[in-house]
Amino acid sequence: MNLSAITLHVPDQSKIAGRLDFVMVASGALLILFLWAHLLLVSSVVLSPAIMNALAHFFEATYMAQVGGPAIFVVMVVHFILAARKMPFEQGEWKAFVTHGRMLRHKDTTLWLVQVISAIVILVLASVHVFTVLSDLPISAAKSAARVQGGTWLSLYLVLLPMAEMHVGIGFYRIGIKYGFISSARRAWYQRAEVVMMGGFVGIGLLTLARLYWLSI
């Protein structure tokens, strides 16, 4: 009998820690791919609202939006719970990390705090956003434009967009580091790539918002 299930005096020999880490990283990677695809899809409105409508129709006719949307939301929540295990929620931990960050003045250490804070912002804002979009199907350029022109949604997106991009950009780099896909020799290159990518996607997002803002409905 495996006594570790009954008493903590017997150390657990399970593989759970590694599996959870794997799920954390895999869900993060999935969300990165999703966000990039998402921003590119929505940005189709820049070319023409008709293209965005056609794409939206495709995703709804195939039920990818109705099923995939909530699925992505679940992935996001799972990712948050797993990643939050590392967050400095206890005041003492927060103090230790911030003191450390101030002492070291080290880019990758500071960027981790950015990731922690952006994670909380995304959790709240993306939930609101997903709920609104999915409870008002079908998606159309006209409805999106009405939301953005309403003003409240515009300010929400102007916060969510850079937060999501920063989180995803830093996350991409950190997955590469943690799992050894980025070697020390290539680290500087990836750090630059990370910044370019973030800038690029924020740019695309802003362009999309601008287009929606000035779209005549």
Partner 1 sequence: MNRKLHIKIFRYNPLDPDSRPHMQSFHINEYDSMTLFIALTQIRDEMDPSLKFDFCCRAGICGSCGMVINGRPGLACHTQTKDLPAEITLHPLPVFKLLGDLSVDTGTWFRDVGTRIEAWVHGNDAAFDPAAEEVRMENALAEEIFELDRCIECGCCIAACGTARMREDFLGAASIARIARFAMDPRDLRSDDAYYDVIGNDQGVFGCMGLLGCQDVCPKHLPLQDQLGIMRRMLALHSVKGILPKAVIAALKHKGHKGCCHEKH
Which residues sit at the interface with ligand HEM, rule CB under 6 A? Answer: 35, 38-39, 42, 65, 69, 72-73, 76, 122, 126, 129-130, 133-134, 139, 144, 147, 153, 157, 160-161, 164, 205, 208-209
Question: Is 205 in contact with 165 (CB distance < 8 Å)?
Answer: yes
| Dihedral sign of CA atoms 14, 183, 165, 134 in order | negative
Nearer to partner 1, 114 or 137 (CB): 114
Q: How far apart are CA 21 and CA 25, in angstroms?
A: 6
Binds 1: which of ligand HEM, partner 1, none (CB < 5-8 Å by kind) = none
The minimum distance between CB 146 and partner 1, in angstroms, equals: 42
Q: How far is the CB of 188 from ligand HEM (least distance, A)?
A: 27
Q: Is residue 188 near partner 1 by the rule CB under 8 A?
A: no
167 binds partner 1 (CB under 8 A): no
Report the interhelical angle of 69-84 vs 107-134 (nearest 10°). Answer: 150
State the Cα angle at 173 between 170 and 175, rounded to 5°: 105
